[in-house]
């Protein structure tokens, strides 16, 4: 029942982190911070959309309140974080990040070496990274 409100609250929270980025929603490109409002407006095109829009306003309010209490107030108001993340969730995220950094399921590589023997930085001009340039001239297919 409250899924549309939750989706809008999550999209509001995520797009506040991506200010200045461009997103596409329903074939329209717009700044990322306007996407939740576009999600609200699209409800007017569907039957029963006004009731869904009212429910999504609750999600917009909840997302805005969360953003204010967890980021804006502690950073700019001098207060403390009034909605701290539970410790168990922080541990789960840290454990997941360490799994992805370790490269589970990937090939074993010696420490200090990158794929292709390059430095990992693109020091030359052109569209290909250094790791691809060390592979030789390549062959054209077809």
pLDDT in tens, the chain (142 residues): 888 889 999 888 888 888 888 888 888 899 988 888 998 998 888 888 888 888 899 999 999 999 888 888 888 888 888 888 888 988 888 888 877 775 555 555 555 544 444 444 445 555 656 666 666 666 666 5
Tokens of 71: 């980021």
pTM listed for this prediction: 0.58
H-helix or E-strand spanning residue 22: strand 22-25
**What residue spans define the domains of the chain?**
2-85
- The pLDDT, as a whole number, for residue 100 is 74
Q: How far, in whole angstroms, is CA 79 from its chain's centroid?
A: 26
CA dihedral 57, 63, 68, 71 (to 10 degrees): -160
Contact between 8 and 56 under an 8 Å Cβ cutoff? The reply is: yes
Burial class (CB in 10 A: 0-12, 13-18, 19+), 122: middle
The per-residue pLDDT for 122 is 46
* Residue 14: predicted pLDDT: 87
Quote the tokens at residue 108.
Answer: 């074993």
Cα dihedral 89, 97, 7, 39, rounded to 10, equals 150
Helix, strand, coil percentages, rounded to 5, for the chain: 55, 5, 40
């Amino acid at each position: 029942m409250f899924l549309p409100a939750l989706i809008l609250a999550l999209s509001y929270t995520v797009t506040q982190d991506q200010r200045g980025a461009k997103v596409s929603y329903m074939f329209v490109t717009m700044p990322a911070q306007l996407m939740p409002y576009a999600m609200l407006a699209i409800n007017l095109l569907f039957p029963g959309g006004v009731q869904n829009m009212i429910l999504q306003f609750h999600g917009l309010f909840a997302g805005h309140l969360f953003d204010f209490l967890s980021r804006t107030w502690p950073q700019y108001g001098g207060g403390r974080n009034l909605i701290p993340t539970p410790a168990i969730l922080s541990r789960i995220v840290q454990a997941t990040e360490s799994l992805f950094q370790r490269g589970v399921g990937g090939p074993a590589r010696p420490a200090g070496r990158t794929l292709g023997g390059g430095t990992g930085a693109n020091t030359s001009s052109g569209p290909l990274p250094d790791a691809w340039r060390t592979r030789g001239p390549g062959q054209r297919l077809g």
